[in-house]
Amino acid sequence: MKLLNFANMRRSKDSSDRVGQFMLVSYIILFLLFLVLPLGSLISKSLQNKNGDFVGLANYNLYLQEPALFQSLYNSLFVAVSSTVIVVILAFLFSYALTRTCMPFKGFFRLIALIPLLSPSILAAIALVYWFGNQGILKEVLLGKSIYGPIGIIMASVYWTFPHALIILTTSLSLSDSRLYEAAEVLKTSKLRAFFTITIPGARYGIISTAFVIFTQVFTDFGVPKVIGGNYNVLATDIYKEVVGMQNFQMGAVISMVLLVPAMIAFFIDRYSRKKQISLLTSRSVVFKPKKHFKVDMIMLCFCSVLALIIILMIGMAQYGAIVKFWPYNLNFTLKNYNFEVAGLGWDSFYNSVRLAFYAAIFGTIIIFIGSYLIEKLRINEGTRNLVQFFALMPMAVPGLVLGLAYIFFFNAKDNPLNFIYATMIILVVNTIVHFYTVSHLTAITALKQMDKEFESVSLSLKIPIYKMFWRVTLPVCLPPIFDISIYLFVNAMTTVSGVIFLYSYDTTLASVSAIHLDEQGEVAKAAAMAMLIVYVSVAVRLTHTIITKKVLRKTQAWRYNIIDSN
Amino acid sequence: MGSISNSYLETKNLSKSFGSFQAIKDISISIKEGEFVCFLGPSGCGKTTLLRCIAGLEIQSAGMVFQKDLDISNLPPSNRDFGIVFQSYALFPNLNVFSNISYGLINNKWKKDDVKRRVDELLELVNLTDHAKKYPSQLSGGEQQRVALSRALATSPGLLLLDEPLSALDAKVRVFLRKQIRDLQRKLGVTTIMVTHDQEEAQTMADRIFVMKDGEIIQSGTPNEIYTKANSPFIASFIGSMNFFPAVISNSNQVRCNNVEIYCDTADFKKDDSVQIAIRPEDIQLKKENSDDNILPAKIRDIEFLGSFQRVYFESNNITKDLIIVDVPSVNARKIKLMPNQEMDLYFSREDIRVYPG
């Protein structure tokens, strides 16, 4: 018995296993440094007074006794819930039209609907100012109500969150078994009853998931209420005011916690409902193919046309506003609004944004893909694996504003050896990668799960080191999702506001942040111009991505396009 | 004998637990060089875990593995000498057939010409010469599995491991590949371990079968030994079909089922022991062959046509409430003209009856 134990103790592992274990441990350290510890310092800040002494929940008490601050919580909840209800209904109908009807021009509508993804959220707010603002053309439509306030916030929020909802709902609606509908028809079920007994229950988890995602996005968004909120305070703008305006970091931390908790709850409900969704479709299901139904198809065509028109009018107005001389008095075209020197800014912030986006896309993709590979494919300690998996999911639950504030508290501390990254491009890149880690990570995991789990075993039996097989098989096969991840990181780095609003410095101003400041200074046309610059880059990158996908991938993915019956 | 010098691969008291679940328990086996053995058992019996421990893909909780008398228990899979084929083929989708097969060769610093020669040789061996340039997705399941087999054999490993290699294939392809794998194995003389839950597969392919249940090996032997001398009712019913009757030993070489006396070999039992007697459907005759055969009057309830033989279900309330299954070769059945409700006597020899503890 003793001998056996001894044998177990000196059991050697593959060198690749050891390297994998070592790398995962370094991931844990990175997550601790750039996610867990900053959040920890945020929490401890909320429990301290101005001198840094521990005061327990005193700050929270103060918060509860301040009716103005409390009002903001109510306001945040109000705009978030209203926007969520509207978006879920609109996006559900839109994705129903895309997946379940024979409406014409589906490709076109899908493309238009995704446009808001390419712009920062403030672009919608700026466009609304042009449409319904004090000098807006359609001001009268609001019947004397101001666009600056909940109406504007809700409208802009609906615009920019719409594609996010559409993506989730389209996925969940396209996962349906046509056999269920055939069974219903054979049993003489009416179309309406089939809709309520098959379609809605089938998409149930998708709807729940969408609702919580949209709720969190609106609840934690900073850009829109900043630009179009007027005197209508929400939590996100309160944090900004406390921190930047009044230098009251403790109260900023307290409000961050108030923002964090609902976001966390929403995150866990969303995760739970996504897990349920997967099990709905089995490999034996037959994918649903819609049948022509003239009346429904035409109604849906009208509906989608109206939404598409609104989207085009929104981005169109932002573009129009950016190139007219002096709205609404002189409508001649000009490019002078793209000259930001006048506002003391120059184009530096734009270049900084592009640099940030490139760095985040390149380093983020490498780090995230390797991380997910380690978790998914290597034989490693179960505890380590679960811990890294948990860390990888955590950023989704942390609003950008909260993460940004946490970074200030952590990295600006004098005794932190990492203090040197404060106010540099590095901290912006790190923050962006961490902020958008989860979605990229899940994309990578999904792609890796589709690969045969025995590839690694085969390689070991053929004495091929894991890294070689990673390079020769895993990477080429996963190239499409890898491109998707890098594009996702790039566009989000270009458009994000909330994550970086506290972290930029004089040398690292960013386009999206500049747009907010320009708007603050009353330079709305310049703000629109800056926001549109972001759109141009996003569009250019998307187009390049499409071309690369078509050309390069055709070479490396030849095996995908060659599925012919050899017999 | 299982002495170390005589065996190519040997496990000693091998155990593996996943948490509190013991997947395999204290397994000691020995496999000779060039032998084709099967681990056979229902799903969840631990057969795949045993294979993966031998490969080093799972790390055993206790026990040792020897290959050619060398202790390989603690070696990682990359330092062991084996090739493996999985149920899912696990072919690299972005590499064509040639690159898949040469995958392991290139790493071993082979010359380009040698690699080409070796791959061509393997492709010819599995009749896929024309498919070298194709991608896995362009091949049928059977073809993919032959590529996977070639890839595993490319580096001429001393041990070939097959993890349910035929389970994902159609019935016809399965029968064809059974023979091809078996022929290939004989030709190359490579020691082979196959895991399967299909008793027919094990019977037709293996030199020796290890039957597993609940993480333990409950019987080992040649296919014929396992079939004719199954040491438990579980194996007897898992491998082929079997009729069971509860009985009590009534005398030396005599048991009583209900109120029928049956003559059989009861050497291992005492009088009044309760037992189960078992007889295979093909060992029950409709005509008397030996003078001392047991005779049982019965009535036909149902007939199934199964091609080369017919399965006839008899009712005989004197011996059991269950139906008695009798397989009659179709040639004979046609002569006798069997009909439902027909009454006739069944005959079975005392040598064909097996007796298990009840």
**Domains and their CATH numbers in chain B:** 4-235 (3.40.50.300), 241-357 (2.40.50.100)
More confident residue, A20 or A529: A529
Q: Which two tokens stand for residue A52?
A: 């840094």
Q: Which DSSP state fits B46? A: S
pLDDT score of A82: 97
The pLDDT assigned to B199 comes to: 92
Tallying the residues shown for chain B, one arrives at 358
Q: How far apart are CA B230 and CA B239, in angstroms?
A: 9
A283 close to B (CB below 8 A)? no
**pLDDT, tens digit (0-9, with 9 covering 90-100), for B103-134:** 988 766 788 899 999 999 999 999 999 999 99
**Average pLDDT, integer, range A419-442:** 94
A94 in Cβ contact with A166 (< 8 Å): yes
Q: Beta strand B309-316 with B260-263: parallel, antiparallel or unpaired?
A: unpaired
Across chain A, mean pLDDT equals: 87
Give B236's pLDDT tier (boundaries 50, 70, 90): very high
CB of B164 within 8 Å of a chain A CB? The answer is: no
Q: What is the mean pLDDT of residues B212-239?
A: 93
Confidence of residue A551 (pLDDT cuts 50, 70, 90): confident
Residue-level pLDDT at A566: 37
Q: CA A32, CA A391: separation in Å to the nearest integer?
A: 9
Q: Tell me what pLDDT residue A32 has.
A: 96
Tell me the DSSP string of A274-330.
HHHHHTT--TT--B------HHHHHHHHHHHHHHHHHHHHHHHHHHHHHHEEETTTE
A238-265 pLDDT tens trace: 999 999 888 889 999 999 999 998 888 8
To which residue do tokens 């490019």 refer?
A335
Cβ-contact B296, B260 below 8 angstroms: yes
Q: pLDDT per residue over A86-132, tens digit each?
A: 999 999 999 999 999 999 999 999 999 999 999 899 999 999 999 99
Which of the four pLDDT bands, split at 50, 70 and 90, describes residue A1? Answer: very low
Cβ proximity of A112 and A162 under 8 Å: no
Q: Higher pLDDT residue, B323 or A139?
A: B323
Distance from CA of A480 to the nearest CA of B (A): 13
Nearest CA-CA partner of B46 in B213, B183, B168: B213
What confidence tier does A278 reach under pLDDT thresholds 50, 70, 90? Answer: low
Distance CA A392, CA A386 (A): 10
When the pLDDT of each residue in chain B is averaged and rounded to a whole number, the result is: 91
CB contact under 8 A, A457 and B155: no
- Residue B298 region, left (φ>0) first, then alpha (ψ -120 to 50), else beta? beta
Could you give phi then psi for residue B22, rounded to 5 degrees?
-90, 105
The tokens describing B129, both together, are 């010469």
Percent pLDDT > 70 in chain A is 92
Highest mean pLDDT among A35-39, A168-172, A376-380, B305-309: A35-39
For chain B, the farthest-separated pair of C-alpha atoms sits apart, in whole angstroms, at 78
Query: How many of the other CB atoms lie within 10 Å of CB of A132?
Result: 23
Residue A466 to residue A17: CA distance in whole angstroms = 9
Give the span between the Cα atoms of B190 and B70, in whole angstroms: 18
Does residue B242 carry a pLDDT above 50?
Answer: yes
ipTM of the complex: 0.76
The per-residue pLDDT for B216 is 95
Rg (CA), chain B: 25
Tokens of B68: 């050619």
Q: What is the pLDDT of residues B309-322, one digit of tens each?
A: 999 999 988 888 88
pLDDT digits (tens, 9 = 90+) for A324-351: 987 778 888 888 888 887 766 778 899 9
Of A15, A454, A558, the CB nearest to B88: A454
Task: Indicate the residue type of B280.
Answer: R
Q: What residues have CB less than 8 Å from B311, skipping those under 6 apart? A: B281, B303, B304, B325, B326, B327, B328
Contact call for residues A514 and A349 (beta carbons, < 8 A): yes
Label residue A16 by pLDDT band (50, 70, 90). Answer: low
User: Which of A7, A562, A564 is opposite residue B64, by nearest beta carbon?
Assistant: A7
- What one-letter code names the amino acid at B303? I
Contact B82 A461 (CB under 8 A): yes
A555 and chain B in contact, CB less than 8 A: no
**pLDDT for the residue A8:** 40
Compare CB distances from B77 to A460, A558, A564 and report the shortest one's residue.
A460
CB contact under 8 A, A464 and B55: no
Looking at residue A281, its pLDDT comes to 54
Measured distance CA(A43)–CA(A59) in Å, rounded: 11
Angle of helix A437-449 relative to helix A479-495, nearest 10 degrees, comes to 170
* Pairwise pLDDT comparison (A203 vs B247), residue with the higher score: B247
Question: What is the Cα–Cα distance from B282 to B112, expressed in whole angstroms?
Answer: 57
Domains in chain A with CATH codes: 14-58+339-556 (1.10.3720.10), 66-334 (1.10.3720.10)
Question: For the segment B159-190, what is each residue's pLDDT rounded down to a tens digit?
Answer: 999 999 998 889 899 999 999 999 999 999 99
Which range among A244-258, A374-388, B69-83, B180-194 shows the weakest confidence by mean pLDDT? A374-388
Choose between A89 and B76: higher pLDDT: A89
Residues 6+ apart with CB under 8 A from A33: A418
Chain A interface includes B172 (CB < 8 A) = no
Q: Do A460 and B57 touch (CB under 8 A)?
A: yes
Query: Is the pLDDT confidence value at A175 over 80?
Result: no
Rounded to whole angstroms, what are the CA distances from A109 to A544, B20, B348?
A: 21, 55, 78
A–B CB contacts, 8 A cutoff, strictly below:
109
- What pLDDT shows up at residue A450? 83
pLDDT band at A186 (very low <50, low <70, confident <90, very high): confident
Residue B257 is given by DSSP the state: E
Q: What is the C-alpha to C-alpha distance for residues A223 and A220, in angstroms, rounded to an integer?
A: 10
Distance, in Å, from the CA atom of B18 to the CA atom of A241, rounded to the nearest integer, reads 55
Number of Cβ within a 10 Å radius of residue A414: 5
Dump pLDDT digits (tens) for B28-47.
Answer: 999 999 999 999 999 889 99
Q: Cβ A473–B92 below 8 Å, yes or no?
A: yes
Give the model's confidence band at B207: pLDDT under 50 very low, under 70 low, under 90 confident, else very high.
very high
How far apart are alpha carbons A401 and A240 in whole angstroms?
9
Residues in Cβ contact with B65 at an 8 Å cutoff, skipping those fewer than 6 apart? B9, B10, B11, B12, B14, B53, B54, B71, B72, B73
Task: Kindly provide the residue ranges of all beta strands, DSSP E only, lying in chain B, ordered along the sequence.
Answer: 9-18, 21-31, 36-40, 62-67, 70-71, 83-86, 159-163, 191-196, 208-213, 216-221, 243-251, 254-257, 260-263, 274-279, 294-305, 309-316, 320-329, 343-348, 354-357
Cα pseudo-dihedral B202, B203, B205, B210, rounded to 10: 50
pLDDT score recorded for residue A14? 57
Scanning B115-134 for CB atoms below 8 A from A yields 131, 134
> In angstroms, rounded to a whole number, what is the distance separating the alpha carbons of residues A86 and B247?
75
> What is the C-alpha separation between A186 and A202, in angstroms, rounded?
19
Residue A424: DSSP 8-state: S
